[in-house]
Amino acid sequence: MSNTINVKDMIDAFKQSIKDQDSIKARVILSYIDQVDDKTQYRLLFELVRSDVNFHLPLLIYLIDQHQTFSQKFDVIEETLISHAFDYPEAFADAIHSDMIKNPKIMIEITEKAEKIHHINL
């Protein structure tokens, strides 16, 4: 039995989970993101951020919370979260209470960075 992930099937399943708005399936797929190559990681992230903000926001938070090494490779995750704090404050506030977050300190740090940027732009 092979432990190799078929990236085409992974991407197809992820796109279908987005289409179906199935956040549980999307989260399961994202739980393997550290086990695929950079190109596949980027593609999954690209597909995710293209989806509806109410769908992708909790999943981005999941990535930054549970896959910190991956998230550090892709600044767009933190940048998107900071942007969403301004552009979609209600969705951002709702996502903060998501059961996907294990370490709320990360969201506090994102909020603090958003506040600093906001004060600089005033």
Q: What is the mean pLDDT of residues 59-85?
A: 90
Integer Cα distance of 43 and 30 in angstroms: 12
3-class SS shares of the chain: helix, strand, coil, % to 5: 80, 0, 20
Encoded tokens for 83: 């942007």
Integer Cα distance of 20 and 114 in angstroms: 31
DSSP at 10:
H
Question: What is this structure's pTM?
Answer: 0.85
Q: What is the mean pLDDT of residues 95-101?
A: 73
Q: For the segment 3-25, what is each residue's pLDDT rounded down to a tens digit?
A: 689 999 999 999 999 999 999 99
